[in-house]
Amino acid sequence: MAPVVEKVLSGFLLSEGPHWDDKKQCLYFVDILKSTINRYVPSTKEHTWAKLEEHNVSIIIPVKDRENYFLVALDRSVCLVNWDGQSKEVANIERLVEVEEGTEHVLNDGKCDNTGRLWIGTMGASAKALQNLKDGQGGFYSIFNKTVQLHRDNVGCSNGLAFNYKLKKLYYNDSLKGTLDEYDFNIESGTISNLSHVLKSFGDDESDKKVLVLDPEEFSGVYDGMTIDSEGNLWVVIFGSSKIVQIKPGKPATILQSVEFPTPQITSIAFGGPNLDELYVTSANFSSQPKGESPGCLFRVTGLNCNGIPADVAVI
């Protein structure tokens, strides 16, 4: 059976950062440009949201053993937010750390590893003009116990992340540079090393046969959000192409399948559902970009014949 794409919610400007809560069987995500955190419960189709002033909101991750508390990124700050999942306003916002102070940069995609450590990066864009990206202005960080560690500078647009704990690998997208990179990952020390490219979206790669370059006609766009399935295959959103692609990492990587959507403005991705065999895919509605039929929607994909792994939560 071929994968089935279903529209479940609509009306978003830039929905991003989906996180499936396996315990509560609900999806959390953000709308960066509407400054909202969102909750969707598939069993009841209930959608609730809260607005966080006029900030760029880029992640929402539940905090372990703290009911109704979340790590949320606001502009350049990582915050602890108290929200009951129902109210239109949050109960409290506590700023924990700020990165790249004195700039107009903003935090973008981020995830926690299985120790509760947050990995998150920035992009060199003004908070008021996210499309005006400047290459080499951002960074990629880990944050734990209010301690910030820089792991990579010269970042264009820090984006999708995935962890393979069996192989001790971290996968990382820089959208502006057009690369999906692999690092050796030491979970105990919280360090990464030995960078290598898995994918490149453009350029002649005849000099390195170990790197997969996607066909620009079939996959025109930039690498955005990313997740990993239980077999260690990566699922990568290609913003601008209307497609997500399943890739088996290797030297070179191989394409296993792709799934097409009714809009090219797809942004990020997460496994969900009772068996973690569904994909939730967020999208945007930029007026300056081709929209397709259903921009700014949340989609669910079924019939994939694979499963994800539970999303990790934050530890504070």
Q: Shortest CA distance to 122 belongs to which of 163, 81, 78, 182? A: 78
CA angle 150, 198, 111 (to 5 degrees): 45
Backbone angles phi, psi at 25, to 5 degrees: 55, 50
* Residue 79 CB-half CA count within 13 A: 24
Helices and strands: H and E segment counts in the chain: 0, 25
Catalytic residue among 31, 109, 224, 312: 224
224 annotated among ligand-binding-site residues: yes
191-195 long-range contacts (CB < 8 A, ≥24 apart) are: 191/151, 192/151, 192/152
Q: Which residue shows structure tokens 């301690």?
A: 147
Residue 56 carries which side chain, given as an amino acid letter? Answer: N
205 annotated among ligand-binding-site residues: no
* Residue 222 CB-half CA count within 13 A: 16
- For the question of residue 312 being annotated catalytic, the response is no
Gap between the Cα atoms of 223 and 97, Å rounded: 27
173 annotated among ligand-binding-site residues: no
Chain mean position to CA 254: 22
Alpha helices in 102-212 (DSSP H): none
| Dihedral sign of CA atoms 31, 34, 35, 38 in order | negative
188 annotated among ligand-binding-site residues: no
Residue 307 and residue 275 in contact, taking contact as beta carbons nearer than 8 Å? yes
- Which tokens is 212 given? 């997969």
Residues 6 or more apart whose CB falls under 8 angstroms from that of 145 comprise none
Pairing of strands 179-186, 169-174: antiparallel
Residues 6 or more apart whose CB falls under 8 angstroms from that of 102 comprise none
Per the annotation, binding residues for a divalent metal cation are 16, 159, 224
Per the annotation, binding residues for substrate are 108
Question: Which residues participate in catalysis according to the annotation?
Answer: 224
